[in-house]
Amino acid sequence: MCATDQVASKVGAWAAKHWPPTSRLALSVRTAPPGSGSGGALASALAALDLPPGSPLTIAPADLVTEGEPLGRAFLSHFKAGATLTALLAHRRASPATETKPGRAPRGVTYVALAGGGSRQAGAGDDGAATLAEAEPTLLHLALPPADPGAPPGREVSIPLAALAAAAAASASAGGAGTAALTLRSDLAASGLYVLDAGAAAGGLATLAARAAGGGGGGGPPSVSVGRDLVPYLLRRQFTPRDPSASEEGGGGAGGPDEAAKAAVAAPPADAATTTMTSTTAPASSAAAPPPRPVCQAHLAPRSRVCGRASTVQAYLELNRDVAAADAGLREGGGRGGGASAAGADGPAPAGGPPSASAPPPASIHPSTSLGAKAAVSLASIVGPDCVLGDRCSVKKSVLGSGVTVGKGAKVANCVLGAGAVVGENAAIQNSVICAGGRVGSRAVVRDARVGPGAEVGEGDELVEETVGGDLAVGSL
C-alpha cells in the first residue's frame, strides 16, 4: 500500500523486476485512499484480500529493516497462541538517560506494559526450539511517543486498571497466587510490524472510523492510524468480556466501561528501563474475569538481530552500521595512517550486546581502503572496500560504502555515503545521507540533508535540511 500513485508506480516497477508473475509470490501494489491514514490503507487491503475471520495478517511499514528470523518467529508465536494481535518490539539502542536532560521527561520513548513471559522480557537467548516453546509476554499497554517530535513528553502514563486485573487473572490461571505483576518498560521500541487477526482488525477499523466520522470533524474521510488507534483499541478490548449484547460504543472509549478507570503511573525515570507494579489482590473490576481471548502479545526481537525503522537519518545511519558490521570483509582496528580517534566517539552498542555509551564499537576499515597522511577514522565508523580517504580528512561515526572518495581536509560526521560517492576537498558533511554516485563539491557544506543517487552539490554551495535528487528511497514510501 503506497501513499500516492507515483510511489505505487515506482514500487510496482521494482517489484515486477524482482518478483515476475511466474514467481510463487502473488504481489499486488495499490494506492491507499487519500487522507485515510495507515488504518485506511489497511482497510483497503483487507477489502481486496477478502480474508475469512481468524486469518492471520502481517503488516509492516516500508522503512522497517530487519532479518527474516524475527518476522518468522513473530508469525509462528501468533499462530501458536491463537492471538488477536502480536507486536514485534525491538530493543532501544541506548537508555533514555543518555538522551535526556536531568529533571526532564525523556523524549521519543515508547512505554510498553507487559505481563508474564519472563525470560522473553529479558531478551533471553534466540535458539529456535527453546524460544518458540516459551510463552510470549502479554501486551497490556503500548503508548507511542507523540507524533509531533516537538511536543513535550508527558510525565505520567495512564494504564487501565483492568490491565492489572488481567495480569492477576493470568497469574492465577498459571497456578500463581493471583498476584498482579505488570512491568512498564521504556527500553523497547515499536517496529511497526503487527500480526493481526483479520476479522478483529476489520471490526476494529470499522468501529474507529465510525467514531471518527461521528466526531464532527468533517472535511473528508476520517484518518485512522494502525499504531495509535487500532492497536490501543485491540489492547483495551482484551479487558472487555465478549458479551454479544454489549455495545462497543459504551463507556465513551474504545475499551468499554473499564476504560474510565485508569491508573496514573509516573513514567519510569530516565535511568530506569523498567518499573514493576504489583498487587496482592486484583482490583475490584476483576470480579468478572477477563476472557481468555482476545489475546494480545509481544514478541521481542533478539538483541543479536538487526531490527529497527529507518525513519530518520540517524536511524538510517545506525541500521547501515549494524548491517555493514556483519560483513566478514570488514576488520576491526585502529585503521592505518592516522589511526582511529576515540575522542568524543559515542555510538550504539554492538549488535550482540546491550547499549553502552562508554563502550562504542571500534572503527572497521576494509583492507583495500587507502588512507592518506593524518586521515582519521573515529570509533563507531565503518569504511567499505576500495575507498580513498585524503590527507587530513576525518570520518566520525559514519558508514562509507564501496569506492567512496573523501577529499583532502574534508570532514564527514554522522553520515551515510553510498557506493561511489565523492566528497570534495575541505567539504563538511554532517547528519546527512549521500546516495550512490552522489557528489559534494569542494568547500561545500551539507547538513541534515539528503543527496539522491547521482545528484550533485556544487562547489562552495550550502545544503541544509533539504533533499536533492528525485529517486531518494529513504522515507519515500
- SS3 string of 311-358? CCHHHHHHHHHHHHHCCCCCCECCCCCCCCCCCCCCCCCCCCCCCCCC
Please report, as a single letter, which amino acid is at residue 94: A
| 197/204 Cα distance (integer angstroms) | 11
Q: Are the C-beta atoms of residues 383 and 365 closer than 8 Å to each other?
A: yes
Same domain as 276, residue 317: no
16 Cβ contact list (under 8 Å, min separation 6): none
Helix 198-214 crosses helix 37-49 at what angle (to 10 degrees)? 130
Domain assignment of residue 415, given as a range: 310-468
The per-residue pLDDT for 463 is: 92
| 237/255 Cα distance (integer angstroms) | 5
- Reported in sequence order, the residue ranges of 46-94 that DSSP labels E, i.e. its strands, are 56-59, 64-66, 85-91
- Among the candidates 307, 324, 342, a domain finishes at 307
The per-residue pLDDT for 72 is: 85
* Number of domains into which the chain is organized: 2
Tell me the HSE value of 153 on the side-chain side, using a 13 A CA sphere: 24
Same domain as 284, residue 431: no
Same domain as 333, residue 284: no
405 membership: H or E segment, kind and range: strand 405-406
* CA distance to 315, 324, 341, 381, 393, per residue, from 416 (Å): 11, 11, 19, 10, 16
Give the closest residue to 27 by CA, choosing from 49, 6, 5, 44. Answer: 49
143 membership: H or E segment, kind and range: strand 138-143
Would you say residue 4 lies in a domain? no
- Please say whether the dihedral angle defined by the alpha carbons of residues 242, 243, 246 and 251, taken in this order, is positive or negative: negative
b/e map 85-118, b = 16+ CB within 10 Å: bbbbbbbbbbbbeeebeeeebbbebbbbbbbbbe
Would you say residue 38 lies in a domain? yes
Give the closest residue to 305 by CA, choosing from 96, 142, 74. Answer: 74
Same domain as 290, residue 365: no
| 61/77 Cα distance (integer angstroms) | 20
Would you say residue 8 lies in a domain? no
Would you say residue 217 lies in a domain? yes
429-465 residue pLDDT tens: 999 999 999 999 999 999 989 898 889 999 999 999 8
In sequence order, the β-bridge partners of residue 182 are 277
The alpha carbon of 327 is separated from its chain's Cα centroid by a whole number of angstroms, namely: 23
Low-confidence ranges of the chain (pLDDT < 70): 94-106, 117-134, 149-150, 153-155, 169-180, 215-222, 241-294, 326-362, 470-477
- Among the candidates 307, 336, 367, a domain finishes at 307
Kind of pairing, strands 462-464 and 56-59? unpaired
Would you say residue 50 lies in a domain? yes
The per-residue pLDDT for 26 is: 77
Q: 217 by DSSP, 3-state: which? A: coil
Would you say residue 241 lies in a domain? yes
